[in-house]
């Protein structure tokens, strides 16, 4: 299956991209996305357990994914 990974702010700067398309196994979880992303150039400066949202809702690393999901890596938020 394919998921879209969104990167923002310092994470987008680190990887040099704002989004990625990943091909994953059918039973993939958020943790699998993090493992894939961690192999990308520039990923070394990302924290080991970044905050994640799936389809615009905060999600745990164990959350199962479906094809077409939008998985966002959320840097520490700083609104206000």
| Contact flag: residue 49 with other proteins (CB under 8 A) | yes
3-class state of residue 44 by DSSP = helix
Nearest distance from C-beta of residue 21 to other proteins, angstroms? 18
Interface with other proteins by CB under 8 A: which range of 19-27, 36-44, 55-63?
55-63
CB 30 within 8 A of CB 65: yes
Per CB under 8 A, which region of 20-28, 33-41, 47-55 contacts other proteins?
Answer: 47-55
What is d(CA 31, CA 61) in angstroms, rounded to the nearest whole number?
Answer: 5
Residue closer to other proteins, measured from CB, 19 or 23:
19
Provide the CB-side half-sphere exposure for 10 (13 A, CA).
Answer: 10
Q: What gap in Å lies between CA 65 and CA 13, rounded to an integer?
A: 25
Binding site for other proteins (CB under 8 A): 6, 8-10, 13, 47, 49-53, 56-61, 72, 74-80
């Amino acid at each position: 299956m394919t998921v879209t990974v969104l990167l923002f702010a310092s994470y987008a700067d680190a990887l040099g991209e704002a989004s990625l398309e990943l091909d994953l196994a059918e039973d993939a979880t958020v943790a699998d996305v993090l493992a894939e992303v961690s192999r990308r150039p520039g990923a070394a400066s990302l924290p080991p357990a970044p905050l994640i949202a799936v389809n615009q809702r905060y999600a745990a690393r164990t959350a199962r994914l479906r094809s077409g999901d939008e998985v966002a890596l959320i840097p520490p938020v700083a609104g206000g």
